[in-house]
Protein backbone atom coordinates (compact mmCIF):
# COMPACT_ATOMS: atom_id res chain seq x y z
CA UNK A 1 0.00 0.00 0.00
CA UNK A 2 2.79 2.42 0.82
CA UNK A 3 4.24 2.17 -2.67
CA UNK A 4 1.38 4.27 -3.96
CA UNK A 5 1.92 7.91 -4.71
CA UNK A 6 1.47 10.19 -1.68
CA UNK A 7 -0.73 13.15 -2.59
CA UNK A 8 -1.02 14.64 0.88
CA UNK A 9 1.72 14.21 3.42
CA UNK A 10 1.40 15.58 6.94
CA UNK A 11 4.13 15.18 9.56
CA UNK A 12 3.79 16.52 13.10
CA UNK A 13 1.29 19.21 12.22
CA UNK A 14 0.65 21.59 15.11
CA UNK A 15 -1.69 24.56 14.99
CA UNK A 16 -2.05 26.87 17.96
CA UNK A 17 -4.41 29.78 18.50
CA UNK A 18 -2.73 31.58 21.36
CA UNK A 19 -2.58 29.02 24.16
CA UNK A 20 -5.15 26.75 22.59
CA UNK A 21 -3.81 23.84 20.57
CA UNK A 22 -6.36 22.98 17.89
CA UNK A 23 -4.20 20.39 16.16
CA UNK A 24 -1.84 18.40 18.36
CA UNK A 25 0.91 16.78 16.37
CA UNK A 26 -1.02 15.23 13.49
CA UNK A 27 0.73 12.84 11.09
CA UNK A 28 -0.90 11.06 8.17
CA UNK A 29 -0.57 10.41 4.45
CA UNK A 30 -3.25 10.32 1.78
CA UNK A 31 -2.64 8.41 -1.44
CA UNK A 32 -3.62 9.19 -4.98
CA UNK A 33 -7.12 8.11 -5.96
CA UNK A 34 -8.06 7.30 -2.39
CA UNK A 35 -11.32 8.21 -0.62
CA UNK A 36 -10.06 9.43 2.72
CA UNK A 37 -12.62 9.96 5.47
CA UNK A 38 -11.92 12.57 8.12
CA UNK A 39 -14.16 12.08 11.15
CA UNK A 40 -14.56 13.76 14.49
CA UNK A 41 -17.01 15.58 16.70
CA UNK A 42 -17.46 19.32 16.35
CA UNK A 43 -14.47 21.12 17.81
CA UNK A 44 -12.17 18.12 17.34
CA UNK A 45 -9.98 20.16 15.02
CA UNK A 46 -11.21 18.92 11.63
CA UNK A 47 -11.95 22.29 10.18
CA UNK A 48 -8.63 23.73 11.33
CA UNK A 49 -6.77 20.89 9.64
CA UNK A 50 -8.73 21.26 6.39
CA UNK A 51 -8.11 24.99 6.31
CA UNK A 52 -4.39 24.34 6.51
CA UNK A 53 -4.51 21.70 3.79
CA UNK A 54 -6.44 24.07 1.52
CA UNK A 55 -3.91 26.84 2.00
CA UNK A 56 -6.28 29.14 3.90
CA UNK A 57 -4.34 29.11 7.12
CA UNK A 58 -0.68 28.58 8.02
CA UNK A 59 0.37 25.77 10.33
CA UNK A 60 2.29 26.64 13.50
CA UNK A 61 4.78 23.85 12.90
CA UNK A 62 5.17 20.55 11.06
CA UNK A 63 5.89 19.43 7.51
CA UNK A 64 2.88 19.55 5.25
CA UNK A 65 2.77 18.99 1.54
CA UNK A 66 -0.39 18.98 -0.58
CA UNK A 67 -0.30 17.87 -4.24
CA UNK A 68 3.46 18.18 -4.02
CA UNK A 69 3.45 21.76 -2.73
CA UNK A 70 4.51 23.17 0.60
CA UNK A 71 1.68 24.45 2.81
CA UNK A 72 3.74 27.37 4.10
CA UNK A 73 4.96 29.03 0.94
CA UNK A 74 3.17 27.52 -2.01
CA UNK A 75 -0.46 28.04 -1.04
CA UNK A 76 -1.25 29.65 -4.41
CA UNK A 77 -0.10 26.51 -6.22
CA UNK A 78 -2.00 24.32 -3.81
CA UNK A 79 -5.18 26.29 -4.49
CA UNK A 80 -4.86 25.71 -8.23
CA UNK A 81 -4.65 21.95 -7.72
CA UNK A 82 -7.51 21.36 -5.34
CA UNK A 83 -11.27 21.54 -5.47
CA UNK A 84 -13.50 22.39 -2.53
CA UNK A 85 -17.12 21.85 -1.66
CA UNK A 86 -18.66 22.99 1.62
CA UNK A 87 -21.79 21.85 3.40
CA UNK A 88 -23.59 24.91 2.11
CA UNK A 89 -23.06 23.79 -1.51
CA UNK A 90 -21.94 27.32 -2.32
CA UNK A 91 -23.77 27.99 -5.54
CA UNK A 92 -25.09 31.42 -6.50
CA UNK A 93 -28.85 31.10 -6.24
CA UNK A 94 -29.53 34.11 -8.46
CA UNK A 95 -27.45 32.71 -11.32
CA UNK A 96 -28.46 29.88 -13.63
CA UNK A 97 -26.93 26.40 -13.64
CA UNK A 98 -24.87 27.24 -16.69
CA UNK A 99 -23.72 30.60 -15.33
CA UNK A 100 -22.53 28.97 -12.12
CA UNK A 101 -20.50 26.42 -14.04
CA UNK A 102 -19.05 29.10 -16.29
CA UNK A 103 -18.16 31.32 -13.34
CA UNK A 104 -16.38 28.65 -11.31
CA UNK A 105 -14.66 27.29 -14.43
CA UNK A 106 -13.57 30.83 -15.20
CA UNK A 107 -11.96 31.56 -11.84
CA UNK A 108 -9.79 28.48 -12.27
CA UNK A 109 -8.58 29.92 -15.56
CA UNK A 110 -10.18 27.42 -17.94
CA UNK A 111 -10.56 28.70 -21.48
CA UNK A 112 -13.97 29.58 -22.87
CA UNK A 113 -13.95 26.64 -25.30
CA UNK A 114 -12.96 24.15 -22.64
CA UNK A 115 -15.71 25.44 -20.37
CA UNK A 116 -18.28 25.19 -23.16
CA UNK A 117 -17.31 21.64 -24.08
CA UNK A 118 -17.09 20.41 -20.50
CA UNK A 119 -20.34 22.08 -19.51
CA UNK A 120 -22.14 20.20 -22.26
CA UNK A 121 -20.61 16.89 -21.18
CA UNK A 122 -21.39 17.53 -17.54
CA UNK A 123 -25.00 18.51 -18.11
CA UNK A 124 -25.53 15.41 -20.24
CA UNK A 125 -23.93 13.17 -17.67
CA UNK A 126 -26.14 14.53 -14.90
CA UNK A 127 -29.23 14.60 -17.16
CA UNK A 128 -29.42 18.32 -16.50
CA UNK A 129 -29.35 19.63 -20.07
CA UNK A 130 -32.90 20.95 -20.06
CA UNK A 131 -32.27 22.82 -16.79
CA UNK A 132 -29.14 24.58 -17.95
CA UNK A 133 -31.00 27.89 -17.94
CA UNK A 134 -32.80 27.42 -14.61
CA UNK A 135 -31.89 29.55 -11.64
CA UNK A 136 -30.20 27.63 -8.83
CA UNK A 137 -32.88 28.84 -6.43
CA UNK A 138 -35.46 26.84 -8.40
CA UNK A 139 -33.79 23.41 -8.39
CA UNK A 140 -34.08 20.75 -5.65
CA UNK A 141 -31.46 20.32 -2.93
CA UNK A 142 -30.20 16.95 -4.20
CA UNK A 143 -29.45 18.44 -7.60
CA UNK A 144 -27.70 21.39 -6.07
CA UNK A 145 -25.50 19.00 -4.17
CA UNK A 146 -24.55 17.01 -7.25
CA UNK A 147 -23.96 20.18 -9.18
CA UNK A 148 -21.81 21.68 -6.43
CA UNK A 149 -19.69 18.54 -6.40
CA UNK A 150 -19.36 18.45 -10.18
CA UNK A 151 -18.28 22.08 -10.12
CA UNK A 152 -15.70 21.35 -7.41
CA UNK A 153 -14.03 18.80 -9.71
CA UNK A 154 -14.75 20.72 -12.93
CA UNK A 155 -11.18 21.94 -13.33
CA UNK A 156 -9.84 18.41 -12.76
CA UNK A 157 -8.01 19.03 -9.51
CA UNK A 158 -5.67 16.45 -7.97
CA UNK A 159 -7.58 16.49 -4.70
CA UNK A 160 -11.12 17.47 -3.85
CA UNK A 161 -12.01 18.45 -0.28
CA UNK A 162 -15.60 17.78 0.71
CA UNK A 163 -16.61 19.41 4.00
CA UNK A 164 -19.70 17.56 5.25
CA UNK A 165 -21.12 17.35 1.75
CA UNK A 166 -24.26 15.36 2.59
CA UNK A 167 -25.82 17.51 5.30
CA UNK A 168 -29.60 17.75 5.12
CA UNK A 169 -30.00 15.39 2.18
CA UNK A 170 -32.23 12.28 2.20
CA UNK A 171 -30.63 8.77 2.28
CA UNK A 172 -31.37 7.92 -1.37
CA UNK A 173 -29.80 11.11 -2.62
CA UNK A 174 -26.87 10.50 -0.31
CA UNK A 175 -26.37 7.06 -1.83
CA UNK A 176 -26.46 8.54 -5.34
CA UNK A 177 -24.01 11.16 -4.24
CA UNK A 178 -21.57 8.53 -3.06
CA UNK A 179 -21.80 6.85 -6.47
CA UNK A 180 -20.62 10.15 -7.90
CA UNK A 181 -17.74 10.23 -5.42
CA UNK A 182 -16.66 6.69 -6.38
CA UNK A 183 -16.75 7.61 -10.04
CA UNK A 184 -14.53 10.61 -9.39
CA UNK A 185 -12.05 8.59 -7.35
CA UNK A 186 -11.79 6.13 -10.26
CA UNK A 187 -10.59 8.91 -12.54
CA UNK A 188 -7.64 9.36 -10.19
CA UNK A 189 -8.89 12.35 -8.22
CA UNK A 190 -8.25 11.96 -4.51
CA UNK A 191 -11.31 12.57 -2.33
CA UNK A 192 -10.83 14.00 1.15
CA UNK A 193 -14.19 13.96 2.91
CA UNK A 194 -15.41 14.94 6.37
CA UNK A 195 -18.73 13.65 7.61
CA UNK A 196 -20.97 13.27 10.63
CA UNK A 197 -22.70 10.17 9.28
CA UNK A 198 -20.96 7.04 10.52
CA UNK A 199 -22.56 4.84 7.85
CA UNK A 200 -20.82 7.04 5.28
CA UNK A 201 -17.52 6.33 6.94
CA UNK A 202 -17.92 2.73 5.77
CA UNK A 203 -17.79 3.90 2.16
CA UNK A 204 -14.31 5.37 2.60
CA UNK A 205 -11.12 3.51 1.74
CA UNK A 206 -9.51 4.69 4.92
CA UNK A 207 -10.82 6.59 7.89
CA UNK A 208 -9.10 8.93 10.27
CA UNK A 209 -10.87 9.73 13.53
CA UNK A 210 -9.95 12.90 15.39
CA UNK A 211 -10.68 13.40 19.06
CA UNK A 212 -9.72 16.54 20.92
CA UNK A 213 -7.13 17.71 18.39
CA UNK A 214 -5.42 14.32 18.07
CA UNK A 215 -5.76 11.41 15.65
CA UNK A 216 -7.07 8.51 17.72
CA UNK A 217 -7.50 5.98 14.95
CA UNK A 218 -6.48 5.69 11.33
CA UNK A 219 -7.11 2.60 9.21
CA UNK A 220 -9.56 0.94 6.83
CA UNK A 221 -13.09 0.63 8.18
CA UNK A 222 -12.70 -3.19 8.33
CA UNK A 223 -9.54 -3.05 10.38
CA UNK A 224 -10.98 -0.46 12.73
CA UNK A 225 -14.05 -2.58 13.35
CA UNK A 226 -11.82 -5.59 14.07
CA UNK A 227 -9.55 -3.59 16.30
CA UNK A 228 -12.39 -2.27 18.45
CA UNK A 229 -14.49 -5.43 18.20
CA UNK A 230 -17.37 -3.43 16.76
CA UNK A 231 -20.08 -4.27 14.23
CA UNK A 232 -20.13 -0.89 12.58
CA UNK A 233 -18.33 2.44 12.51
CA UNK A 234 -20.83 4.02 14.83
CA UNK A 235 -19.73 1.66 17.59
CA UNK A 236 -16.08 2.32 16.84
CA UNK A 237 -16.72 5.99 17.29
CA UNK A 238 -18.66 5.56 20.52
CA UNK A 239 -15.90 3.39 21.99
CA UNK A 240 -13.26 5.90 21.08
CA UNK A 241 -15.23 8.69 22.66
CA UNK A 242 -15.72 6.66 25.86
CA UNK A 243 -12.04 5.83 26.06
CA UNK A 244 -11.39 9.53 25.85
CA UNK A 245 -13.58 10.25 28.87
CA UNK A 246 -11.70 7.77 31.01
Partner 1 sequence: MKTFINFVKKEFRHIFRDVRSMVILFGMPIAQILIFGYVVTNEVKDAKIAVLDLSKDEMTVEITNKLTSSGYFLLVDNFKSEDEIELAFRKGEIQEAIIFEPGFAKKFVKDGKAEVRIINDASDANTANMLANYTSAIIMNYSFAESGVNGASGQIIAQTRMQFNQDLKGAYMFVPGTMALILMLISAMMTSISITREKEMGTMEVLLVSPLRPVQIIVGKVIPYFLLSFVNAISILLLGFFVFGLPVNGPLALLLAESMLFITMALSLGIFISTIAKSMQVAMFISMFSLLLPTMLLSGFIFPIENMPQILQWVCHAIPPKYFIVIIKNIMLKGTGFEYVWFETLVLFGFTVFFIVMSVFKFKTRLE
Q: Is 116 exposed, middle or buried (0-12, 13-18, 19+ CB in 10 A)?
A: middle
181: number of Cβ within 10 Å: 22
137 binds partner 1 (CB under 8 A): no
Q: Quick one: which of 3, 20, 73, 94 contacts partner 1 (CB under 8 A)?
A: 94
The CA angle 103-106-108, to the nearest 5 degrees, is 120
Please identify, using beta-carbon distances, which residue of 93 and 220 lies nearer to partner 1: 93
Provide φ and ψ at 87, rounded to 5°. Answer: -65, -15
- 1 Cβ neighbours under 8 A, 6+ residues apart: 31
Please identify, using beta-carbon distances, which residue of 89 and 177 lies nearer to partner 1: 89
Taking the C-alpha atoms of residue 67 and residue 32, their distance in angstroms, rounded to an integer, is 9
192 binds partner 1 (CB under 8 A): no
Q: What is the DSSP string of 157-196?
A: -SEEEEESTTTT--HHHHHHHHHHHHHHHHTT-EEEEEES
Least distance to partner 1, CB of residue 106, Å: 3
Candidates 125, 102, 124; CA nearest to 114 is 102
Please identify, using beta-carbon distances, which residue of 31 and 104 lies nearer to partner 1: 104
Least distance to partner 1, CB of residue 154, Å: 11
Binding mask 52-81 vs partner 1 (x if CB under 8 A, - otherwise)?
--xxxxx-----------------x--xx-
Please identify, using beta-carbon distances, which residue of 15 and 174 lies nearer to partner 1: 15
For partner 1, the binding residues in 139-168 under the rule CB under 8 A are 161
Quick one: which segment of 36-44, 97-105, 123-131, 211-219 binds partner 1 (CB under 8 A)? 97-105
By the criterion CB under 8 A, which residues form the site for partner 1?
17, 54-58, 76, 79-80, 82, 84-95, 99, 102-104, 106-109, 161
Amino acid sequence: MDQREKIISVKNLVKKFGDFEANKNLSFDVFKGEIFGFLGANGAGKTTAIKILCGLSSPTSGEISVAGFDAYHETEKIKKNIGYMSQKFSLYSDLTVKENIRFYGGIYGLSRDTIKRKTKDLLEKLNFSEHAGSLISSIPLGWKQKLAFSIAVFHEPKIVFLDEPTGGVDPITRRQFWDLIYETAHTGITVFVTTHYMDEAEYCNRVCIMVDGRIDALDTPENLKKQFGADNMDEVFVRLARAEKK
